[in-house]
Amino acid sequence: MSSEHQLFLNRLKRTRMYIRLAQLGLVVSFFALWEVATLLGWLDSFLVSSPSKIWQTVAQLHAVGGLYHHIWITSLVTVIGFVGGTILGTFFAAILWWWPKLHLTAQPFLIVLNSLPKIALGPLFIVWLGTGYLTIVTIALAISIVTTIIVVHNGFTTIDPLKLKLVHSFGATKWQSFYLIVLPGSYQTIVSAVKVNVGLSWVGVIAGEFLVSRAGLGYLAIYGGQVLNMHLVMTSVLILCVAAALMYQAIVFLERINWRNTLTGP
């Protein structure tokens, strides 16, 4: 490695470190200002809570043993909805790529479904599926699957047609073209859809928990609002922020590992 390359890598590492420190500073400053504002009376802690009250609420939930149960329930249902939406969405996108006429037929319906507020279907899902976790998972799937189909299918159709013609000239079947050219060439598009699905899955699960759940972070938030316990509401919101961020960073981490393996080879 040349000295210029090493200097460039060192500058890149310092830049990343400065960005991380700036992000950490913004978070610390936000919570510090929030706490000071409530202590000085600039903000009403009854309405907006405060970091110290949130910490006390977390300690109380931990003491009674309910904190990790609610986090586990919401996280598990979210992962199920996330994985299911991604797999099913990619599968249906592949079907639409395989049969272009089917895509032309389904395209206006996909647009309508994508524009439809999925939470409006919540009462129907409750009647059809009951008030269990199956309804929550279904709402999460309904929110994420259509977006996945549209995004991933667009990635499939943007593959260079010359590459497909090249493999066809060597006698490749349509399945081989899809498996060897289309699917690997759409990797970044699929990863982008996965990242979007992280947020959509959390939205779907929390919306479902608002409607039917008796456990989970969404249930805590709606219950806190009903009894005017803003400390419980804000605690649920902050835990959701942390959980969603960790899930997103896990996807980014897996993407980096796969990218490094691709570069280094077997």
Q: With bands split at pLDDT 50, 70 and 90, how would you rate the model's confidence at 36?
A: very high
Q: Per-residue pLDDT averaged across 110-117, rounded? A: 85
Quick one: how far is CA 15 from the chain centroid? 27
- Which pLDDT score is estimated for 265? 47
Q: Are the C-beta atoms of residues 234 and 54 closer than 8 Å to each other?
A: yes
Q: Which residue has the higher pLDDT, 91 or 131?
A: 91
Q: Which residue has the higher pLDDT, 194 or 26?
A: 26
Classify 172 in phi/psi space as left (phi over 0), alpha (psi -120 to 50) or beta.
beta
Is pLDDT of 260 > 60? Answer: no
Burial 71-80 (b: 16+ CB within 10 A, else e): bebbbebbeb
Residue range 195-208, pLDDT digits in tens: 888 888 888 888 88
The DSSP secondary structure of the chain, one letter per residue, reads --HHHHHHHHHHHHHHHHHHHHHHHHHHHHHHHHHHHHHTTSS-HHHH--HHHHHHHHHHHHHHT-HHHHHHHHHHHHHHHHHHHHHHHHHHHHHHHH-HHHHHHHHHHHHHHHHS-GGGGHHHHHHHH-SSHHHHHHHHHHHHHHHHHHHHHHHHHTS-HHHHHHHHHTT--HHHHIIIIIHHHTHHHHHHHHHHHHHHHHHHHHHHHHHT-SSSHHHHHHHHHHTT-HHHHHHHHHHHHHHHHHHHHHHHHHHHHHHHHHHH--
Q: Which residue has the higher pLDDT, 184 or 262?
A: 184
- Which pLDDT score is estimated for 263? 45
% of the chain exceeding 90 in pLDDT: 19
Is pLDDT of 248 > 80? Answer: yes
Residue 91: partners with Cβ closer than 8 Å, 6 or more residues away:
none
Q: With bands split at pLDDT 50, 70 and 90, how would you rate the model's confidence at 247?
A: confident
Q: Per-residue pLDDT averaged across 46-67, rounded? A: 88
Q: What is the largest CA-CA distance in the chain?
A: 76
Q: With bands split at pLDDT 50, 70 and 90, how would you rate the model's confidence at 31?
A: very high
For the whole prediction, is pTM greater than 0.85? no
Is pLDDT of 191 > 70? Answer: yes
- Which pLDDT score is estimated for 238? 92
d(CA 139, CA 120): 10
d(CA 87, CA 144): 11
- Which pLDDT score is estimated for 33? 94
d(CA 154, CA 150): 6
Is pLDDT of 146 > 50? Answer: yes
d(CA 80, CA 205): 10
